[in-house]
């Protein structure tokens, strides 16, 4: 079943935040200060705090000169520069991880494709130090996912005590390079959209469709998805898969990636029209149109978080999801809401409910902390359904409060 409208209904933001948010969005996405942009925050320290909370501090520092930031923020601007330096340092580790992953795949003669951050970085779409990542995502050929996992394990990427997902294996961790996730498919990007074929794109499908380009800078056979595929994945991953989970994946990163891929310019609508059929099962046409409009408005410096149009609602959802605890809590009621999946809606809902009721030991420890004994973990498992009901009641209370507001 295809979606038909915008899935989010965010609350209004505190009026005192709006001038600072206007400055922040202009510096993170809009024209450079030298192009005539003269916005200034109402309170420099609050604007900086918002930049950190929204994950835009490094991007702002990467796009704006030190002199301009100092003129607008004073000495406090240095905290944004420090965030950019930290992001750039983390990116060096991620680049080393990419090389180690490619080398392990080459030694095992397994062709691979990189996704998300790694693909954006390797394709030259990112300004240095503007965007970090928590892991590297790599796409394996169909049927060779476990073979790639084992090759990475032999190269020092240890297997994690956590479950995988239908579209990817459990994460693997290297003591120096960090985490890697081996993907089976690009979930929600359905290259045969409209034909009745619901299958998400695989590495083989990308190669067969001419939607991947070689990456000769790395050893072995490495490809990168085309910009259209990267944009489609960013959209469905940010809104369809994690739209209701702002703490897990910020929607503002989705907007940034799409703008870096060209959606903020005149060709944005053509790009969206190309990928629209691929995403139609998981993103409504109204959502995709709002996303295109918002990227154009952000790039032009005209986006309005206080507006009432679809693009403003989408922007306000991204902001409120990180800034309004009541809204973030209310979104947790969406456990069974539609999300990209290869499964039928009923099977997906049952799987989501089972995962919530019976998390893995590692997930249980992440939620409640490591217990003193195995009996403590058993007690937490027995308590888990009661805790979910308690959390659902709290989320419902927050949703009612938002309704009154």
DSSP 169-210: PPPEEETTTEEEEEESSBTT--TTTTTT--PPB-HHHHHHTT
Q: Dig out the tokens for 25 from the structure.
A: 């969005």
% of the chain residues with pLDDT over 70: 91
% of the chain residues with pLDDT over 90: 66
Q: Note the pTM of the prediction, 2 decimals.
A: 0.88
144 vs 98, 102, 135, 202, 347, CA distance in Å?
Answer: 19, 15, 21, 12, 25
Domain ranges for the chain, please list them. Answer: 15-323, 324-405
pLDDT band at residue 36 under the 50/70/90 scheme: low
Q: Which residues contact 299 (CB under 8 A, 6 or more apart)?
A: 29, 30, 31, 259, 264, 265
DSSP 220-259: SSEEEE-HHHHHHHHHIIIIIITTT-TTTS-HHHHHHHHI
* pLDDT of amino acid 400: 67
> Residue 164: helix, strand or coil by DSSP?
coil
Least confident residue range of 27-36, 135-144, 272-281, 348-357: 348-357
For residues 357-370, give the mean pLDDT: 75
For residues 146-156, give the mean pLDDT: 97
Least confident residue range of 3-7, 40-44, 204-208, 302-306: 3-7
**CA 103 – CA 222 distance, rounded (Å):** 10
* pLDDT of amino acid 375: 73
The H-or-E segment that residue 278 falls in is helix 268-279
Q: For CA atoms 23, 27, 29, 34, give the dihedral sign.
A: positive
* pLDDT of amino acid 392: 66
For residue 3, pLDDT over 60 is answered with: no
pLDDT band at residue 45 under the 50/70/90 scheme: very high
Pick one of 3.30.460.40, 1.10.3720.10, 3.90.100.10, 3.30.70.980 as the CATH number of 15-323: 3.30.460.40
For residue 252, pLDDT over 70 is answered with: yes
222 vs 139, 175, 207, 211, CA distance in Å?
Answer: 10, 24, 11, 13
For residue 391, pLDDT over 90 is answered with: no
Residue 151 burial by Cβ neighbours in a 10 Å radius (0-12, 13-18, 19+): buried
Q: Dig out the tokens for 157 from the structure.
A: 């990427």
Q: pLDDT tens for residues 82-121?
A: 999 999 999 999 999 999 999 999 999 999 999 999 999 9
For residue 19, pLDDT over 60 is answered with: yes
* pLDDT of amino acid 182: 98
* pLDDT of amino acid 335: 63
* pLDDT of amino acid 150: 97
pLDDT band at residue 362 under the 50/70/90 scheme: confident
For residues 55-78, give the mean pLDDT: 93
Mean predicted lDDT score pLDDT of the chain: 89
Q: Which residues contact 320 (CB under 8 A, 6 or more apart)?
A: 10, 11, 13, 327, 328
Q: Which residues contact 195 (CB under 8 A, 6 or more apart)?
A: none
> Residue 307: helix, strand or coil by DSSP?
coil
Q: pLDDT tens for residues 308-339?
A: 999 999 999 999 999 999 998 888 777 666 78
């Amino acid at each position: 079943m295809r979606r038909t409208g915008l899935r989010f209904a965010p609350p209004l933001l505190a009026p005192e935040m709006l001038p600072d948010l206007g400055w922040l969005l202009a510096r993170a996405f809009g024209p450079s200060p030298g192009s005539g942009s003269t916005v200034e925050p109402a309170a420099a320290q609050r604007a900086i705090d918002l930049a950190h909370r929204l994950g835009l501090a490094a991007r702002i520092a990467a796009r704006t000169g030190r002199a301009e930031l100092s003129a607008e923020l004073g000495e406090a601007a240095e905290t944004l520069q420090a965030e950019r330096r930290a992001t750039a340092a983390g990116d060096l580790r991620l680049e080393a991880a990419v090389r180690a992953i490619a080398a392990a795949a080459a030694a095992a003669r397994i062709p691979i494709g990189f996704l998300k951050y790694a693909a954006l970085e390797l394709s030259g779409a990112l300004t240095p130090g503007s965007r970090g990542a928590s892991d590297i995502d790599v796409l394996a050929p169909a049927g060779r996912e476990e073979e790639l996992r084992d090759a990475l394990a032999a190269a020092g990427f240890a297997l994690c005590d956590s479950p995988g997902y239908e579209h990817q294996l459990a994460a693997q961790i290297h003591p120096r390079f960090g985490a890697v996730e081996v993907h089976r498919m690009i979930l929600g990007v359905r290259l045969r959209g409209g034909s009745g074929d619901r299958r998400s794109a695989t590495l083989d499908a990308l190669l067969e469709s001419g939607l991947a380009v070689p990456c000769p800078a790395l050893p072995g056979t490495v490809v990168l998805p085309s910009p259209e595929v990267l944009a489609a994945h960013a959209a469905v991953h940010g809104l369809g898969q994690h739209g209701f989970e702002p703490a897990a994946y910020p929607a503002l990163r989705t907007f940034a990636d799409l703008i870096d891929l060209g959606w903020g310019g005149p060709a944005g609508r053509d790009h969206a029209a190309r990928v629209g059929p691929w995403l139609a099962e998981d993103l409504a046409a109204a959502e995709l149109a709002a996303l295109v409009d918002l990227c154009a408005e952000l790039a032009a410096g005209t986006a309005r978080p206080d507006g009432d149009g679809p693009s403003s609602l989408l922007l306000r959802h991204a902001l409120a999801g990180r800034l309004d605890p009541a809204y973030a809590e209310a979104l947790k009621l969406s456990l069974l809401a539609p999300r990209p999946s290869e499964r039928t809606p009923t099977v997906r809902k049952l799987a989501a409910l089972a995962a919530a009721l019976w998390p893995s030991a590692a997930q249980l420890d992440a939620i409640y902390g490591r217990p003193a004994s195995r009996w403590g973990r058993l007690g937490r498992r027995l308590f888990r359904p009661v805790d979910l009901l308690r959390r659902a009641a709290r989320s419902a209370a927050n949703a009612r409060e938002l309704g009154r507001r």
